[in-house]
């Protein structure tokens, strides 16, 4: 390409023109190496946000961001490796259940995860609530663990998609996060670098998700699967409900406690486990250990019932330096400060008909479970547990949720926020489905 002129690329996007792959690659390379400054990239991002990117542009942007760093080579690891990504939500503790579960069914899973930001949680923060658990594995340790154990969950090293790291930080402060092609390129530049042979994508839809409407969630799912296919990576996207929090705990240690319960076979029919089983079924089928997703689901249920998934989680925690004894006796987890445990009482009689995931995510953040800016640390024990969910009956004085914190937030304000997140009625409509539909290159199937 002739010498890069960022001003003409910004103007082209501002005027709704389509950029070539070479132009986008030039721009991303120059930004990654610091020759295009943040102020020009910010203008470009806003133009892309407002005018959109074509499918070819989104794919080219992904390629450029992927090429900015290492592509982890797992070709020496036996088996079909299957990755998983969630677009993020409130109470989304699926990965720490799913990775050991799928691994215990014979399909290796290598996963790079992220941290929570704003009202959403992140898998790394959750796992680090287990004392000693390390998420800063080297590429060699990551490769070794997926070979020996069939499962690994680590943080994105600086070598993977550095362009995304820089761009995401800029999008966060320039109001350009909520763009389907920018989100798709960001996700896929990391997922394609993980080294897996196939991908399952949990695209969350609803109040607590990036994608608030089904139409947007479907569009993101299609974009992700198309980009994966261009990289010869079979992908399945599953559309799942994020109007209400997933599970009954939100926050890092509270969610790990729920993970342990799920792996022990408790909550088997919950919305959380419906999501886990659907994703597990797809992954087990993609990995070749089942003929169909339905057979994969049956294999996953059996692995939970036989305790094999819990045993694999125990091995994963031990391999990554975590204190395994707290999995057997969660009450023995040492805390560095006294932990408040405050009930939120119900004020009326009736049935829960709705619970606003966004409000609960915000309440967890105020308790110290999340961060407003990337550099902030989190309080591992902070969050909510025992959430009443749609369909549950309550009487005055019953506990809607318990608040936990090791800090000093305004607990009265958080309590009120949680109470306002609930809606009650005398009778309940049928529960909303946990899983809506699946999408592959062949099209959509309702579930």
**Residues 57-96, interacting with ligand URA (CB under 6 A):** 87-88
- Integer CA distances (angstroms), 446 to 212, 355, 433, in order: 19, 25, 11
Q: Which is nearer to ligand URA, 192 or 273 (CB)?
A: 192
User: 101, 112, 183, 193: which one contacts ligand URA (CB under 6 A)?
Assistant: 183
Give the nearest distance from C-beta 22 to ligand URA in angstroms.
24
| Tokens coding 361 | 């995510």
* Catalytic member of 165, 190, 218, 248: 190
Q: Which is nearer to ligand URA, 177 or 342 (CB)?
A: 177
> 335 an active-site residue?
no
**219 near 350, Cβ under 8 Å?**
no
Site pattern 277..316 for ligand URA (x: CB under 6 A): ----------------------------------------
Contact between 211 and ligand URA (CB under 6 A)? no
Q: Which is nearer to ligand URA, 183 or 285 (CB)?
A: 183
> CB neighbours of 391 closer than 8 A, spacing ≥ 6?
351, 352, 428, 431
> 374 an active-site residue?
no
Give the nearest distance from C-beta 106 to ligand URA in angstroms.
28
Give the nearest distance from C-beta 186 to ligand URA in angstroms.
3
Tokens 């699926």 identify what position? 94
User: 95, 145, 186, 274: which one contacts ligand URA (CB under 6 A)?
Assistant: 186
Q: Which range in 99-107, 181-189, 247-255, 358-366 contacts ligand URA by CB under 6 A?
A: 181-189
Q: Which is nearer to ligand URA, 145 or 186 (CB)?
A: 186
Q: Which is nearer to ligand URA, 50 or 425 (CB)?
A: 50
Query: Cα-Cα-Cα-Cα dihedral of 391, 393, 394, 399, to 10°?
Result: -60
Q: Which is nearer to ligand URA, 224 or 435 (CB)?
A: 224
Give the nearest distance from C-beta 274 to ligand URA in angstroms.
23
> 190 an active-site residue?
yes
Give the nearest distance from C-beta 111 to ligand URA in angstroms.
13
Instruction: Give the integer Cα–Cα distance in Å for 224 and 232.
Output: 13
> CB neighbours of 15 closer than 8 A, spacing ≥ 6?
none
* Catalytic member of 85, 165, 191, 439: 85
Q: Which is nearer to ligand URA, 183 or 400 (CB)?
A: 183
Site pattern 140..179 for ligand URA (x: CB under 6 A): ----------------------------x--------x--
| Tokens coding 85 | 């990504």
Q: Which range in 28-36, 183-191, 311-319, 425-433 contacts ligand URA by CB under 6 A?
A: 183-191
> CB neighbours of 191 closer than 8 A, spacing ≥ 6?
83, 85, 199, 201, 228
The residue of the chain with the least Cβ separation from ligand URA equals 186
Instruction: Give the integer Cα–Cα distance in Å for 421 and 61.
Output: 39
Give the nearest distance from C-beta 337 to ligand URA in angstroms.
31
* Catalytic member of 63, 92, 164, 243: 164
**Residues 284, 109, 221, 203, CA torsion sign:** positive
> 86 an active-site residue?
no
Contact between 187 and ligand URA (CB under 6 A)? yes
Which residue ranges make up the site for ligand URA (CB under 6 A)? 87-88, 168, 177, 182-183, 186-187
**What residues are labeled active site?**
85, 164, 171, 186, 190
């Amino acid at each position: 390409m002739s010498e890069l002129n960022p001003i003409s690329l910004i103007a082209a996007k501002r005027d709704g023109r389509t950029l070539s792959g070479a132009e986008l690659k030039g721009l991303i390379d120059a930004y990654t190496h610091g020759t295009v400054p943040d102020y020009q990239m910010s203008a470009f991002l806003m133009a892309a946000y407002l005018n959109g990117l074509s499918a070819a542009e989104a794919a080219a942007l992904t390629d450029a961001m992927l090429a900015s760093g290492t592509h982890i080579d797992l070709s020496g690891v036996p088996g079909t490796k299957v990755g998983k990504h969630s677009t993020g939500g409130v109470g989304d503790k699926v990965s720490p259940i799913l990775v050991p579960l799928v691994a215990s069914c014979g399909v290796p899973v290598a996963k790079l995860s992220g941290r929570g930001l704003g009202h959403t949680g992140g898998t790394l923060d959750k796992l680090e609530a287990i004392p000693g658990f390390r998420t800063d594995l080297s590429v060699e340790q990551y490769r070794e663990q997926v070979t020996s154990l069939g499962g690994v969950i680590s943080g994105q090293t600086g070598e993977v998609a550095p362009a995304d790291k820089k761009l995401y930080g800029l999008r966060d402060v320039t109001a350009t996060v909520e763009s389907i092609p920018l989100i798709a390129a960001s996700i896929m530049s990391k997922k394609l670098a993980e080294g897996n042979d196939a991908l399952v994508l949990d695209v969350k839809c609803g109040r607590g998700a990036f994608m608030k409407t089904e139409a947007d969630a479907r569009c993101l799912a299609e974009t992700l699967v198309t980009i994966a296919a261009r990289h010869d990576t079979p992908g399945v996207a599953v559309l799942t409900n994020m109007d209400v929090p997933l599970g009954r705990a939100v926050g890092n240690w509270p969610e790990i406690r729920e993970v342990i319960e799920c792996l022990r076979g408790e909550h088997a029919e919950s919305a959380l486990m419906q999501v886990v089983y659907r994703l597990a079924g797809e992954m087990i089928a993609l990995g070749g250990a089942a003929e169909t997703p339905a057979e994969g689901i049956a294999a996953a249920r059996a692995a939970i019932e036989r305790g094999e998934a819990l045993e694999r989680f125990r091995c994963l925690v031990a391999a990554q330096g975590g204190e395994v004894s707290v999995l057997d006796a969660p009450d023995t987890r040492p805390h560095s400060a006294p932990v408040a445990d405050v009930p939120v009482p119900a004020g009326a009689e009736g049935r829960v008909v709705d619970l606003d995931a966004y409000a609960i995510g915000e309440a967890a953040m105020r308790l110290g479970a999340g961060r407003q800016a990337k550099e902030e640390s989190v309080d591992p024990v902070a969050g909510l547990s025992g959430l009443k969910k749609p369909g549950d009956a309550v009487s005055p004085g019953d506990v809607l949720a318990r608040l936990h914190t090791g800090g000093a937030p305004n607990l009265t304000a958080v309590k009120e926020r949680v109470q306002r997140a609930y809606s009650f009625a005398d009778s309940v409509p049928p529960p909303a489905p946990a899983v809506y539909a699946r999408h592959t290159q062949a099209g959509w199937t309702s579930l």
